[in-house]
């Protein structure tokens, strides 16, 4: 099934950030397909809320998560080690499409469920050792639109904001993780859920 037309793929935005390579595809999936993916993932994912440890303090993670991927590809971040459940058929379908455009084979996907605007993801880089140097991260957004921020590690004043739409893909490559941090801040303007999928390659 062709999930998108090549015409839609021309509609891409390069964020033009020095030392990074970030491309945004607002309509990567059609609304109809994105609606189906959102409903399926919301219902069939085994969402969990882990404790995270930051600077020695333990908190409940402000969102729900799940990890799916190839056997043995565990992922450790913020003091949590997640062991993957197998890829489901819907995740395989999404993975196939993001692999075509990014020309990378991904072996895990981290899913985040932001239940409402009070759920968030703090400033960080996806720079864990097991992702290797200059990792390619393909980030799919489903559900309510949320603002995403990037800031340079050298110039902390210059913050870039982008609204991540339902059915969009944000592709982060090159020096993005080495040179930038990103976050998904809390917002009072949103009271419905969003699912984010970040496809990654664990070495
Ligand atoms: O929800 C998002 O768009 C960001 C997700 C993210 O930064 C992560 O999972 O590392």
Q: Where are the domains of the chain?
A: 6-200
Strand ranges for the chain from DSSP E: 13-14, 21-25, 51-54, 57-60, 64-69, 75-77, 80-82, 108-114, 121-124, 137-143, 146-152, 159-164, 168-173, 180-184, 194-200
Contact residues of ligand 1, CB 6 A cut-off: 110, 112, 121, 126, 139, 148, 164, 182, 184, 196, 198
Q: Whose CA is nearest to atom 8 of ligand 1?
A: 198
Substitution candidate for ligand 1 out of 112, 149, 180, 187 with most atoms within 8 A of CB: 112
Please state, rounded to an integer, the average pLDDT across all residues of the chain. Answer: 93
Query: Counting runs of H as helices and runs of E as strands, what totals does the chain give?
Result: 4, 15
Task: Taking residues 62-73, report their average pLDDT.
Answer: 96
175 versus 78: the higher-pLDDT residue is 175
pLDDT at 1 over 60: no
Task: Report how far residue 45's alpha carbon sits from residue 203's, in angstroms, rounded to the nearest whole number.
Answer: 25
Distance CA 196, CA 109 (A): 10
Percentage of the residues of the chain whose pLDDT score is greater than 70: 95
Q: How confident is the model at residue 9 (pLDDT cuts 50, 70, 90)?
A: low
Atom of ligand 1 nearest to the CA of 146: 3
Predicted local confidence at residue 8, as pLDDT: 52
137 phi, psi to nearest 5 deg: -120, 120
Task: Please state which CATH number belongs to domain 6-200.
Answer: 2.60.120.590
Q: Which of 171, 183, 197, 195 is nearest to 35 (CA)?
A: 195
**Predicted model pTM:** 0.94
Report pLDDT for 78: 77
pLDDT of res. 157: 81
Distance in angstroms (rounded) separating the CA atoms of residues 178 and 16: 16
Query: What is the DSSP pairing of strand 57-60 with strand 194-200?
Result: unpaired
Q: How far apart are CA 58 and CA 125, in angstroms?
A: 20
Smallest Cα–Cα separation from 152: which of 24, 14, 16, 19?
Answer: 19
């Amino acid at each position: 099934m062709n999930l998108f037309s090549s015409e839609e793929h021309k509609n891409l935005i390069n964020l033009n950030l020095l030392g990074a390579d970030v491309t945004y595809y607002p309509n990567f999936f059609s609304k109809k397909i994105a609606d189906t993916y959102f409903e399926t993932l919301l219902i069939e994912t085994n969402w969990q809320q882990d404790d995270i440890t930051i600077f020695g303090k333990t908190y409940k993670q402000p969102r729900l998560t799940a990890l799916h991927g190839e056997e043995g590809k565990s992922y450790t971040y913020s003091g949590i080690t997640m062991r993957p459940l197998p890829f489901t058929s819907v995740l395989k379908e999404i993975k196939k499409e993001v692999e075509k455009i990014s020309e990378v084979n991904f072996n895990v996907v981290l899913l985040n469920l932001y239940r409402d605007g009070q759920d968030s993801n703090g400033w960080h880089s996806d720079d864990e050792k097991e992702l290797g140097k200059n990792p390619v991260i393909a980030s799919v957004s489903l559900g309510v639109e949320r603002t995403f921020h990037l800031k340079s590690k050298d110039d902390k004043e210059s913050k870039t904001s982008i609204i991540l739409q339902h059915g969009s893909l944000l592709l982060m490559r090159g020096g993005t993780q080495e040179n930038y941090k990103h976050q998904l801040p809390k917002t009072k303007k949103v009271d419905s859920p969003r699912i984010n999928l970040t496809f990654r390659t664990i070495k």
